[in-house]
Amino acid sequence: MNQQSIRNFAIIAHVDHGKSTLADRLLEITNTVPKEKMAEQFLDQNPISRERGITIKLAPVRMKYKVQDSTSEYILNLIDTPGHVDFSYEVSRTLAACEGAILLVDATQGIQAQTVAHYKEALKETLTLIPVINKIDLPNAQAEIVTKDLNSVFGFKKEEILYISAKNGENVTLLIDEIIKRIPPPSGKKEKPLRALIFDAVYDEFRGVVAYVKVVDGEIKKHDSIKFFQNNVTSEISDIGYFSPNLVSSDKLQTGEIGYVITGIKNIRQCRIGDTIITSQKSEEEVQALPGYQLPKPMVFFGMYPKNSNDFVLLKESLNKLILNDTALTYTDEYSSYLGSGFRVGFLGLLHAEIIKERLKQEFNLDILLTMPQVLYKKSFDSAQDKGKMLEPYMKLSVYTPKDSVGPVMNVCQGRLGELANMAYHDNYVVLSYDMPYSMFIRGLSNELKAASNGYASIDYELSTYKEANLTPLEVRVNDNPIDVLSETIYEEEASRVAREKALKLKNSLPRQQFRQVIQVLVAGNILAREEIPPFRKDVLQKMSGGDRRRKDKLLDAQKKGKSRMLSHAKISIPQEALLSMIENG
């Protein structure tokens, strides 16, 4: 294969700007997928991805295309990418395997948060970018305004910008021709020793680990003996090939090609994403490793418990299977006196947590309960005697909003402890930059910003540093028994309000019992809120029609002593429905 005929590119855009629809049209026009087999979001094989209408996993595919009035045939390797901020690490991995990218912008929405974030990632990789405005067929399309924004924000000239409709295929053929003209072929050397970048890996139950690779230098053949540079694991290739979009076997992958490698390795941790594949005959000193990736760090942690305690073993097995194809997911064992055995699970964000919960339900038929989310706090000590200071993660938050929503959006951000760092006005939108505690994300910041901007605001964030915070532990007790799953870390200035709200919510959630239930919310060991649920009380005077007052007092005293004994001996049992109501409603 002629290396000059290969084009490796990705489609990058904000969520719902039409990446998957454009990928569908490219597959259709290049006849990679027959029309009768074509379906919407063809590359999104995950049912949850199709159900939600968003891409949550990168998807590579090889397409063959002949330029009109020419005998030249080109190999187009496309990688479709996610657009949501939770999965931005997938985009950075994809771009490292490409020479160019299509920067897709919705003609009705214009530049959004992830458009800018992905543009910056592409610049880091020095990729050739093709700016494309999509959805020009819609009646509310604002192609001229979006063109001005692309020029003012990114510096693209008007003649560089393409105008398409991915839905009906308008100008998509022209886009393919421009991909061939503008995006350079791979620059690797065929005569050099093998170096292949692993940009993704999945686990197949029958074949083991399937590594997604780009051959940077040299070539790789079936039955070659290879070595994973970082882990120093040697193995023989049992199968090799490319994506069309299903796996298609071939004899070899040459310089610049994107494909898959199967070696029979069963442990996905031996095949690290970002690792370099070299031939086993070469040593680490002879071949220089390719720049890898920074592993994604989970920043939001939930307690995860099966609603049926008998499903604990199944939950552990299910998490182990999910981790094989999702390296960002982590878990450790955890025990709750009210929910039993469970796990402390780390996610990239709230959407990531929702998707994992849905996958556990759909793929493993598991009904689970997620406790209140927490971020990763740190403690710093100035000396051995020092009690330590609590540090919390901060983020650089960028909010893209229409001009008429600036006031309400600023009110939301300031109410969430945000410090305004910058404000930039563009033709039809404003970019607000804030330094803000990352914990605000798990406390409904995104929904509040959407409400304040009538649904138009979009956000991007980057974790910046840890800062000292006035944090304090909050504990909930019922009849002096601590309820561990309702404990959390809160800001000192919010302690009184949160304590009152939590006590009242728990009072409304708990059923009455034969004994009195006293709810206490403690902050730093001090009781800040108290509520009481009175017991059921039988009318012991019902059958008395008269008589001495002392007879009535005797019966009432006996009832009172019985309730007191019951309170001291009764086991506090909080129904799971009450806990679920408290956890889901905050």
Please report, for the domain that includes residue 339, its CATH number.
3.30.70.870
Same domain, 485 and 453: no
Answer whether residue 486 is part of any domain: yes
Name the residue among 81, 99, 100 with its Cα closest to residue 91. 81
Q: Inform me whether the pLDDT recorded for 5 exceeds 80.
A: yes
Mean per-residue pLDDT for 370-378?
Answer: 84
- Domain match, 30 and 119 both: yes
**Given 432, 447, 468, which residue is the final one in a domain?**
468
Residues 241 and 360 in one domain: no
Q: Are residues 28 and 139 in the same domain?
A: yes
Neighbour tally for 249: CB within 10 Å: 12
Q: What is the mean pLDDT of residues 556-565?
A: 66
Q: What is the pLDDT of residue 279?
A: 85
Q: Which of 26, 28, 31, 34 is nearest to 7 (CA)?
A: 26
Answer whether residue 493 shows pLDDT above 70: yes
Report yes or no: 440 and 416 within 8 Å, Cβ to Cβ: yes
pLDDT(107) > 70: yes
Do residues 54 and 7 both lie within one domain?
A: yes
Q: What is the pLDDT of residues 334-344, one digit of tens each?
A: 888 777 888 99
| Same domain, yes or no: 410 and 435 | yes
Banded model confidence at residue 105, pLDDT cuts 50, 70, 90: very high
- Going by pLDDT thresholds of 50, 70 and 90, the confidence category of residue 288 is confident
Residues 6+ apart with CB under 8 A from 163: 107, 132, 133, 136, 143, 171
Q: CA 82 to CA 89: how far, in whole Å?
A: 9
pLDDT at 24: 86
Above pLDDT 70, what percent of the chain? 85
Q: What is the mean pLDDT of residues 369-392?
A: 78
Structural domain of residue 269, as residue ranges?
A: 195-279
Determine, yes or no, domain membership for 291.
no
Residue ending a domain, choose from 124, 158, 182: 182
The answer as to whether 507 is a domain residue is yes
* Same domain, yes or no: 124 and 172: yes
Q: Which of 126-140, 221-235, 568-582 is most confident?
A: 126-140
Measured in whole angstroms, the distance separating CA 431 from the mean position of its chain's CA atoms is 23
Q: Is the pLDDT of residue 206 over 80?
A: yes
Mean pLDDT, rounded, of the chain: 82
CATH number, domain with residue 72: 3.40.50.300
Q: For residues 472 and 440, give the distance between their C-alpha atoms in angstroms, rounded to a whole number.
A: 16
Residue 163 has pLDDT above 90, yes or no: yes
Does residue 508 share a domain with residue 395? no
The CATH number of the domain where 485 resides is what?
3.30.70.2570
The CATH number given to whatever domain includes residue 452 is: 3.30.70.240
In a domain, 103, yes or no: yes
Measured CA to CA, the distance from residue 273 to residue 288 in angstroms comes to 17
State yes or no: pLDDT of 523 exceeds 70. yes
Within this chain, do residues 40 and 169 fall inside the same structural domain, yes or no?
yes
Could you tell me if 347 and 409 lie in one domain? Answer: no
* DSSP, res 165: B
Q: Is residue 190 part of a domain?
A: no
pLDDT-based confidence at 130, cuts 50/70/90? very high
Q: Quick check: is 284 in a domain? A: no
Cβ atoms 221, 237 nearer than 8 A: yes
Closest to 368 in 3D by CA, of 195, 583, 78:
583
Helix axes 350-364, 312-325, angle to 10 degrees: 120
Q: Is residue 292 part of a domain?
A: no
Query: Does 523 lie in the same domain as 428?
Result: no
pLDDT of residue 45: 57
Least confident interval from 141-145, 241-245, 484-488, 511-515: 511-515
pLDDT tops 80 at residue 44: no
The reply to whether 171 falls in a domain is: yes
Instruction: Tell whether 31 and 142 lie within a shared domain.
Output: yes
- How many domains does one find in the chain? 5
From 358, 373, 388, give the residue that closes a domain.
373
- Residues paired with residue 241 on neighbouring β-strands, in sequence order: 249, 260
Give residue 39's pLDDT band: very low, low, confident or very high (50, 70, 90).
low
Strands 195-204 and 208-217: antiparallel
pLDDT band at 240 (very low <50, low <70, confident <90, very high): very high
pLDDT at 27: 86
Break the chain down into helix, strand, coil percent, rounded to 5: 30, 30, 35
- Average pLDDT, integer, range 506-517: 80
